[in-house]
A and B are shown apart, each in its own frame.
Chain A
Amino acid sequence: MAVPLDYFVILSAFLFAVGTVGVLVSRNLIVMFMSIEIMLNAANLALVAFSRRQMLMDGHVFVFLVMTVAAAEAAVGLAIIISLFRNRESINADQLDLMKW
């Protein structure tokens, strides 16, 4: 490939930044959660790129495990969102402020 490695890494950085901004900016929980998934993906991309450079397969296994964990996390997180929605009829993250002083 004639594509240099850092292009992939820079792309991963961009994706990560987008995910971060998404988490902070949006008010509703669904988009927040999806932004987290974007961030996870960006990390995966970087991992694969570096694994390609090192010629080691460890990065791929790492990505495998990360995705598994992401799946588990998504399942539990959605369950939480469901019970929250049941109680409050809203997915506005700003309304979850019972832990304030």
Chain B
Amino acid sequence: MSDYLFIVPLLPFLGFLINGLLKDRLSKNTVIGLAVGSVGLSFVVSLFLFFRLIGLDAEQRTIQQVLFSWIPVGGLQLDFAYLLDPLSAVMILVVSGVGFLIHVYSIGYMAHDPGIKRFFIYLNLFMFSMLTLVLANNLILLFIGWEGVGLCSYLLIGFWFDKKSAADAGKKAFIVNRVGDFGFLIGSFILFWSAGSLQFTDLMHKAPEVFAVGGGLVTAATMCLFFGATGKSAQIPLYIWLPDAMEGPTPVSALIHAATMVTAGVYMLVRLNFLFVLAPTTMLVVAIVGCATAFFAATIGLAQNDIKRVLAYSTVSQLGYMMMACGVAAFSAGIFHLMTHAFFKALLFLGSGSVIHAMSGEQDMRKMGGLRSHLPVTYKTFLMGTLAIAGIPLFSGFFSKDEILWQAFSSGYGHPIFWLMGLITAAMTAFYMFRLLYLTFYGGERYDQHVASHLHESPKVMTMPLVILAVLSVIGGWIGIPHALGGGAWFEKFLEPVMVHAPKMEAAEAGAGVEYGLMALTIALVLFAIYMAYVLYNKNIAKAGSLRESLAGVHKTLINKYWVDEFYGAVIVRPVVNGSIFLWKIFDVLIIDGIANGLAIITQDMSLTIRRMQTGQLRSYLAIFLLGVIAIIAFLVVR
């Protein structure tokens, strides 16, 4: 079985290679067929590997395939090797499965775009990088995938590169990611220096001996690694690229910025859980940052008018939940939420893409309304997704989000404050998602005649993935029903071999009664939030306007995203730009060019002087010749 592992990332890579090299010689349909087909096959192989993995005993579920020895230098031994264990199995299923659905969707969405071939080439490259990331057996190969997805993110966000805002957004994403990557690298260096290896299974065994609990080294390494994760997973302080990334095509937003790339940070944290549990300080920081991000992003999402922006901030917020889960050592809960979030967020984005497609490109919700009757399939699937993200019982989002809230409250690393913030955020999530739903699909039609004439339900190739994802959003949570509700908690059990038992976890064992109570409280608050959204945006939309005026100051802050971008621009970007202008004008032009030109001028002047010796006159040459002879004789005589 270990021989087949490499096929999973190889297939999209081949798709990328063939399509990329022969782009102009293949027809559009061939390119699409290759691209989508390779991902589909990859998913099938992933399924196959998953079932084989289940067939093994729990302790033996670790399979590695070494492709070749990549960097054997001194004490560093890195192989290009893939690792299949429960965690990576879950990840490849999610990545290739959701990825495949989005590829199918893109066939319809990008059908009229002239750059469609390029789109699929980039998408395949992305799939390869992401699969390498989750299958890597060592930190540096993971980093290769990490960088690869960052690159594809840049390429795909700036897909319509002749639009300046898109090109800028692509650059912003890449640069902000790079800032985080610096932390990632420093963290890996510290790890290698202290533990001597970067391979996951090695580190897992060596970590307890090499690092003291709460010691300086492991805390420093994990903090640096977490900083890298904040860049990739859009947490505070490096989340600023994600809302701008909505400039890219909607399938890109669905795939990269909802389901897969942004989850790479969470994956990395979970993969290295054995390190993080040794650094309680870092765990606290992770939990605080995750919680704060979730809350903060949700507040911004309340006031946005662009349908995709709301979803973008929602993504940041949900990622905050996942990070918070990791921070309270509920790693499997984090991955569980990652999976369900992939389902419903991809669904929501693709649904919004369907809406935008139908509205001939309109993205402002204030100009939508009443689309329920015109886009029935889109509406129904979107409703499923909204119910899931709001955390309505029986939908997938309910189980995963509730698990996180429960762990935040009861875990040895948790604190009631985390739970409270998470609870309020859940309410806000429900509120803004239903606001989105009501504004888009209900109420009066606020769009003009031109748009109305083109209004049509999306083609089957776009709606089929929506339907599949809607089904998954409903049933996807059923594999992780906790014990308290009578379920088998299969998901958590499945992931157990990958996790290390956190030291403080045994401490808290609040009873099931508390769990029920908290669950009920969450449901009540969520229903109340939905009711509020109904009142404001469905029953009487004028009320929303008056509310906005009465809270004008708050609204202005929210809609301007707390002016964070402007703050960064003034405090960080401006000084750096000025610094480089200074270096350029003063240092480079004056000093370095001066030295180079000066050397040339000196040589020139010297040669002008020396060449006077070349008189061409026989007699002067003879005179100098003779002078030399006299000198030599004198030397010999004197000696």
Contact = CB atoms under 8 A, between A and B. Distances in A.
Interface in A60-101: 93-94, 96-101
- Give the interface size bracket for B toward A: 10 to 19
B616 A97 contact: yes
B606 to A, nearest CB: 14
Interface string B406-427: 0000000000000000000000
Contacts of A24: 619, 622-623, 626
A93 B612 CA distance: 19
B616 A96 contact: yes
A23 B615 CA distance: 17
What does DSSP make chain B's interface, helix, strand, loop or mixed? helix
Contact of A99 (B616, B619, B623, B626): B616
Contacts of B614: 99-101
A23 B617 contact: no
Nearest to A93: B618
A98 B614 CA distance: 10
A97 B622 contact: no
Interface string B614-632: 1111110011001000000
A97 B615 contact: yes
Interface string A33-61: 00000000000000000000000000000
A99 B614 CA distance: 7
A93 B618 CA distance: 7
Nearest to A23: B622
A93 B619 contact: yes
Determine which residue in B612, B616, B623 has the highest number of CB atoms from chain A within 10 A of its CB, and name it. Answer: B616
Nearest to B610: A101
Nearest to B617: A97
A100 B616 contact: yes
A55 to B, nearest CB: 26
B630 to A, nearest CB: 10
A20 B626 contact: yes
A94 B626 contact: no
B611 interface: yes
Interface in B572-629: 611-612, 614-619, 622-623, 626
B115 to A, nearest CB: 62
Interface in B146-161: none
A100 B616 CA distance: 4
Contacts of B626: 20, 24
Contacts of B617: 93-94, 96-97, 100
Determine which residue in B611, B619, B622, B623 has the highest number of CB atoms from chain A within 10 A of its CB, and name it. Answer: B619
Nearest to A29: B618
Contact of B616 (A23, A27, A32, A98): A98
A96 B616 CA distance: 7
A99 B623 CA distance: 17
A59 to B, nearest CB: 21
Contacts of A99: 614, 616
A82 B1 CA distance: 95
A24 B618 CA distance: 9
Contacts of A32: 618
A94 B618 CA distance: 7
B611 A94 contact: no
B615 A100 contact: yes
A35 B329 CA distance: 105
Interface string B61-101: 00000000000000000000000000000000000000000
Nearest to B621: A99
A94 B612 contact: no
B627 to A, nearest CB: 11
A27 B615 CA distance: 15
Contacts of B616: 96-101
A101 B623 contact: no
Contacts of A96: 616-618
A101 B617 CA distance: 11
Contacts of B612: 101
Contacts of A101: 611-612, 614, 616
Contacts of A100: 614-617
A16 B518 CA distance: 121
A93 B615 CA distance: 12
Nearest to A96: B618
Interface string A2-44: 0000000000000000001001100100001000000000000
13 contacts: A20-B626, A23-B619, A24-B622, A24-B623, A32-B618, A93-B618, A93-B619, A94-B619, A96-B616, A96-B618, A97-B616, A100-B614, A100-B617
Q: Which 9 A-B pairs have the closest CB atoms?
A: A100-B616, A97-B616, A101-B611, A99-B616, A101-B614, A93-B618, A100-B615, A97-B617, A100-B614
